[in-house]
Each structure stands twice: as C-alpha cells, then as structure tokens.
Amino acid sequence: MTTRRRKQNKKWMLLKLGLFIYLIAGVFTIIWFRTEVVSLEYELGELNRQKTGFIREQRLIMAERASFYSVKNIEETAVKVLGMSPPERKNIYYVERTEGAVPYKVSLNKP
Amino acid sequence: MKGKRKKEEWAGNLWDEGFSGHKVQKSRKRAAILISFIGFCFFAISIRLFDLMLLQHEALANRANRQYLRTKTLKPQRGVIWDRNLRELAINVEVDSLYAVPSEVSSIEALSSGLAPVINVSYNKLVSAISAKKDKDFIWVMRKMDEETSHNVTALKEREKFKGIDFVTETKRFYPKGQTAAHILGFTNIDNKGISGLELQYDEYMRGTEKKVFMGKDARGKSLAPGIEDELAGSSMILTIDEGLQYIVERELSQAMSDWEAAAAVAIMIRPSTGEILAMANMPTYDPNLPGESVNDNKRNRAITDMYEPGSTLKAVLSSVAYEEGVVSLNQMFDVSRGFIVVGGKPIKDVHRNGVLSFQDVIKKSSNVGAVQIGMKLGKERYYSYLKKFGFGDRTGIDMPGEVSGILRSPARWSGTSIGAISIGQEIGVTPLQLVRAYSAIANGGLLMKPYVVSEIISDTGESIKRNTPVAAERVMSARTAKVITDILKGVTETGGTGKNAEVAGNLVAGKTGTAQKIDPNTGLYSKNKFISSFVGFAPADDPELALIVVVYEPKGATYGGVVAAPVFRRIVENAFAYLNIPMEKNENHIMLVDNSR
C-alpha cells in the first residue's frame, strides 16, 4: 500500500468517525431536547395545577368579599356593631361650592 | 452484444474457479427465487404500508392520539350577574365533587361505612348505589360538596387508604347576597342549567359553549401541560336592579309581612321615564343557594305570575281615560250622597258616606259610586280600548320568564254589572307589574314604557352583545291629562285622602290606595275576611324618580290599602330617597349660608 493510499484511508476513517460522532451527538441532542420539552411540560402542568388552585381560592375569597359587601351586611354591621343609625333626611344638607370667594351655599337642594 | 460477452466472461471466470455449468444453473435459479421472494416481501410491505398509511390513516391516527393524548372537555363558567352599580349578584365558585370507580373499590361495605357519616348519606343507600353499578367505571357519590365535607372526605380517604374514590372540581353557582333579589335572579340546577328567573331567561347567553382540548399524557396517564391558558365563560349581565334599593324594598316588605301577619307581599319599583325595574321583591322568599329547601310557592315571582283584582287602584286609570276623552271635567260634580248605585240590578256601595263630590274628590276619597258614574259616562267600548292600550290583558313583555297576561274580557262578554265592577277594579285580573307600569305612564307624561330588567349583556371577551334601551310602547294619554291626574293623585296622600299614610316628609307623592276582596275558591264568591291591600304611586310627584307598588295579601288586623300598604310605600320611598340622595323639596326656607373662610 502506498503512502498516498494510506493517507487517503486515514482521511476517510477520520471522516467516517466524524460523521459517526456527529450522528450520535445529533441523536443525543434530539433526545435531550425532547426530554427537556417533556420535563418543561410536566413543570407547566404542575404550575397550571397550582394556578387552578390559586384561582379557586381567589374565587372563594371574592365570593366571601361579595357576601361581606352586601348592603344588608353593611347595614347590620353599622347598626349593631358600630352603633350607627340611618341619617334622617331632614338632617341631610347638600353643600354646594360656588365659584369665587363667596361662602358655600348649604341647602336641602342637591347640587 | 456487449452484455452477452460480459455474461460469457463471468461464466468463464466461474468455470475457471471450479464451478460446473450445472452448479451455475442452480445458483442462478436460487438467486432468482431469492430475488423474487425479496421482491414479493417488498411488495407485501408496500401493500401493507399503503393500507396503514392511506386507507386506515384516520382510524389509526385517532387510535394513536387516544393513546398519547387525553381529551378534556372544558366546561364554561356561567356569566356573572351584576346589579346596575356592578355589585355581584351571581358568581361562580369551584367546589369538589366526589366520584367512585366501583370496579376499583376493594370493599364497598367498608367504603360505605366510612363515607356515609361524613357525607351525611345513609349507609344502605350508598352501598346499594355503588353495588348497582359495580362493573361501571364511574358513579357520582356526592356532587358539589362544601369545603368542610371535602376536607373530611380527603382526610378519611388518606387515613383509611380507600381506593376507587376521587374528586373532580366543578363550578357551582353562588349568590353572594343570599335571598336578595332571589325571584329576579332565579337559580340553576346541579348541572348549572338555569331553572328559573333570569338564570332561565338568559340561560343560552350565560351558560356559554363547551370546548374540547387535547393534552399529552405519559405512560402512567399523567397529564402534560394542556398548552392553553384561556378559561371559558358565558356572557355576563348588568341588571337595572339596584342592590341597595332591592334591599330596602325587601326589608320593608318583610317588616310588613310580620306586622300584618300577611300571607304574601309584593313590591315593584320602576323608573317611570325608562321602564327600568329598580327593585322587585316577593315575600315569602327563598335562598337561591339552597333552592331545594324552600317550597315551590315561595319561589314564585308573584309580581308577574299572579294576578289579582286591583280594586280602587284602577280608578286612576279610569279617571285618566275619562279626562282624556273629555267625558268629565275638573269642576264636574258627582252626587254620591245615597252611598250606593245600582248597576245591572246589583248595588255597588261606598265604604264611607259622602255628599256631592268633585271629580278630584271621587279619586281622593275613593268613592265607588262616583267611579261607577264616571265609568258609565265613558262607556264599555271606550273604557275597554283604553284598558288594552294601558297593557291590561296582555303581557308587558318584561324579560323574565313566567309572566301572565291577566284577565280582561272583551266588551261582548261583559255582563250588565261589568261596567260598574271594572270601574272599581273588579272583574279584571292584573299583575302588580301591569299596574305599576300604568301608573308609570301617568308619571311619564302619558308614555307607557316597556319594562325591562337586563340592561346589558357582555361577552366573555368584554364586548357588548345586547343592550336594552328604553322603549315607549304606547302613548296612553296626553301630557296634559297626565299632569291633571298627577295633581289629583297628589291629593290622595294629603289630608282627607285615603293614602295619607303614604305621605313622604319633604316630597310630594302621587298615588292611590286599593283594597280588594279575594275570591274564596270554595264558594266562588268574594271572601269576607281575605283581602288584598295595595298602594301604588310615584314620587317626587312633579319630577318622578320612581314609581312603586306595594301589594299585601291577606293582612290580619286591618284590610285597607291606606292602612296596610301605604305606610310600607312611605317607608320604602323615604329610605330610597335617602339612598339615592334625592333632596327634600319642601322646607326650602332651610337654605343656609356657611362662612367660606379658611
């Protein structure tokens, strides 16, 4: 076998080896990507479940808030807990702010 | 030639290497068989591939998807219902529902004995329910349980290591204001389908449409991320109802029920200029969160489903028609001194003896005899045509289910006494809504408006799908007539009028009392001890913000509308005006100046 032939064979071998490594690396990269995607999907699924749980909790809190804010509850709290009483209409004065340096006009008329 | 020579060379070579001609022949045969076999195999594979990849493509792709993908049906949340100030009246919460896979349950008896006391179901019932579907893969055990029960079941499941039971999250309709506006909102069934009220009327809008999504699953069936973020929801609604006014009306109605030990009570508050329903209340009521715990009678929206004889409250309609037609004038006098009038051979009496009354006083003092005289002057044909124009005998078209049209017979079917009876609000069946709408027309300068409860429907993306705007159904009288009748109705709540108890401090009220006898279902005659007391009117009389009707069924201790219903009207209007910041018109001398120095 001539030296030239041997060199050619060596080149060919190196090329084959390179191709083989490239192929293996490619396969592993694809598998790695796929694994990463799947694990991200798991993670996303878990986050979604957490999100659903938080949304559920948020809805419950909002429902509770809506119940607390009912006019009935507010009146009961104001009267029974805070000792307030509904204002008598005759005691309600509407303050109208007039233009310029004139006194406020206070009347029973709504501004 | 060239090919033949090559073959000969190849044969010669074989000969040289020791092959005999016979052997070559044999090898050629073998090669041909092998090639044919391989070719056939390729052909068979091609056929099979053609079959799999083209002919069975769809079925196999679906099968593969079933193995890898999980189909999940996303159920939309029902739309939210808000009042006119965007306070939530109906929302959704997520709750747990318990299901069992009977084929995976190791011991039905053990599971049932543990579970029954926690979910408050009898042991026998639970055993028979699970045993009946032993081979099935799914059975509901308890749907939409409360938080506490759900926690208890979870704890029990972990403690006892029960297999074959699990939870699924479902959406439940929740009415945060409890009984408030229960008859307007209605309620839904276990599958979130509207059953009554607006939930039923607008079910198509609010329930939304289901959507199927696919998500990957692993070998253990564990779901991967669905890849979707959106939550489905139906359309939401903004009502014309004001929660504050609704509460005031319900509170006062409840008080009246208790004060008069009444069988039922109804009140409707409407904005005369638009036809918007501001409040609509019925007593007794129910909690839409627990509809199963109330009797059906309590769930009926009497405001639109029940008709009654309006009694004297119809006299305002009669007088407006008579004035509009010019058959009476303001100065006209009516002799009612006999205290009765005979119509069709039957006497119609006044409750109190009066002398000679003006047209205004006939209404102010609610004289039956005077009203009959007006009715007879008007004539049945004209009166009937106006009653139809006012909307009696027809549905108002309100956007709520179950409305009845009431009863208004055509003049051909009127008896000799009918003109007298209908003039005083008998022999006619009206709903509270029809009557308050008629009074709203007087308050609105003669324009009869179509009542409505839903102001706007908004899609889940926030777009307006439907918007209800005020619709004038009919002009039932001129603005001048409306003004005259308003002035007459103001007199009803002044000294000497039957509705003095409806007078609101600081504001003028126009209205009319009504007391009607109920018909005894056993005898078919008017009952002597069952009455319907009512008051209907509007305020402030000269610039009406609201019209209101209060109807109290079968009050005990008193019967007159002026005694039973008028005070309820007053309390509701006073509170409503304070809530709405409507100032007192009277006492303007209280205007004060305050020093502005700072």
pLDDT at residue B545, as a whole number: 94
The pLDDT, as a whole number, for residue B439 is: 97
pLDDT bracket for residue A1 (50, 70, 90)? low
Which pLDDT score, from 0 to 100, does residue B320 have?
A: 96
In the predicted model, what is the mean pLDDT of residues A34-58? 87
Mean pLDDT of B477-484: 96
Give B223's contacts in chain A (Cβ within 8 Å).
45
B356-358 and B340-343 strand pairing? unpaired
Q: Encode pLDDT of B301-317 as tens digits.
A: 999 999 999 999 999 99
Q: What angle do CA B146, B149, B152 make, to 5 degrees?
A: 150
Residues 6 or more apart from B443 whose CB is under 8 A from it? B272, B482, B486, B510, B538, B544, B547
Torsion angles phi and psi, residue B115, rounded to 5? -80, -40
Predicted pLDDT at B214: 74
Beta strands (DSSP E) in A1-111 are 94-96, 104-107
| Interface size between A and B, measured as CB pairs under 8 A | 117
> B596 and B518 in contact (C-beta within 8 Å)?
no
pLDDT at B108 over 70: yes
Which residues lie below 8 Å from residue B316, measured CB to CB, with a gap of 6+?
Answer: B363, B438, B439, B442, B485, B488, B489, B512
Q: What confidence category does residue B229 fall into, taking pLDDT thresholds of 50, 70 and 90? A: low
For the record, the structure tokens of B320 come out as 């407006």
The reported pLDDT for the residue numbered B324 is: 95
Whether A104 sits inside 8 A of B594 (CB atoms) is yes
Chain B residues in contact with A60 by the CB 8 A cut-off are 93-94, 147
- Tell me: pLDDT of B72 over 90: no
For residues B506-511, give the mean pLDDT: 93
Among the listed ranges B315-324, B534-543, B581-590, which one has the minimum average pLDDT value? B581-590
Sign of the Cα torsion B436, B438, B442, B445 reads positive
Taking a C-beta distance cutoff of 8 angstroms, is the pair B184, B198 a contact?
A: yes
**Cα-based angle B58, B61, B63 (whole degrees, multiple of 5):** 110
The full length of chain B comes to 598
Can you give the residue ranges of every domain in chain B? 243-580
Q: What percent of chain B has pLDDT over 70?
A: 93
Question: B436 falls in which pLDDT band (50, 70, 90)?
Answer: very high
Contact B200, B401 (CB under 8 A): yes
What confidence score (pLDDT) does residue B115 get?
87
Contacts of A44 in chain B (CB under 8 A): 224-225
- At residue B90's C-alpha, the angle toward residues B86 and B93, to 5°, is 120
CA-based nearest residue to B302, from B289, B283, B278, B276? B283
Confidence band for B226, pLDDT divided at 50, 70 and 90: low
Residue in B88, B93, B587 closest to A60 by CB: B93
pLDDT digits (tens, 9 = 90+) for B262-290: 999 999 999 999 999 999 999 999 999 99
Quote the tokens at residue B445.
């300068």
Provide the pLDDT for residue B87: 95
* pLDDT at site B19: 56
One of 3.30.70.1560, 3.40.710.10, 3.20.190.10, 3.40.50.300 is the CATH number of B243-580, namely 3.40.710.10
Classify each residue of B418-439 as buried b or exposed e, where b means 16 or more C-beta atoms within 10 Å of its C-beta.
bbbbbbbbbbbbbbbbbbbbbb
Closest by CA to B430, choosing from B412, B406, B408, is: B406
Q: Could you state, in order of their start, the residue ranges of all structural domains in chain A? A: 1-56
Q: Is A101's Cβ below 8 Å from some Cβ in B?
A: yes
Judge whether B77 and B233 are in contact, CB under 8 Å.
yes
What are the structure tokens assigned to A83, written together? 């000792």
Nearest to B494 by CA among B420, B407, B394, B586: B586
Three-state DSSP class for residue B455: strand
Q: Read off the pLDDT band of A103 (50, 70, 90).
A: low
Inter-axis angle of helices B561-580 and B243-260, nearest 10: 150
pLDDT digits (tens, 9 = 90+) for B519-562: 887 887 888 889 999 999 999 999 999 999 999 999 999 989 99
Beta carbons within 8 Å of B317's beta carbon, 6+ residues apart: B386, B387, B390, B438
Please tell me the predicted confidence (pLDDT) of residue B238.
97
CA atoms of A22 and A83, how far apart (whole Å): 83
More confident residue, B158 or B375: B375
Yes or no, beta carbons of B243 and A70 under 8 Å apart = yes
pLDDT attached to residue B186: 96
Rounded to a whole number of angstroms, the distance from the CA of B416 to the nearest CA of chain A is 51
Where do the H-state alpha helices sit in B379-522? 380-389, 418-423, 432-443, 479-492
How far does CA B567 lie from the centroid of its chain? 29
Mean pLDDT of A30-53: 88
Checking ipTM against 0.85, whether it exceeds it is no
pLDDT in tens, B198-220: 999 999 999 988 877 777 777 77
- Strand partners of residue B271: B276
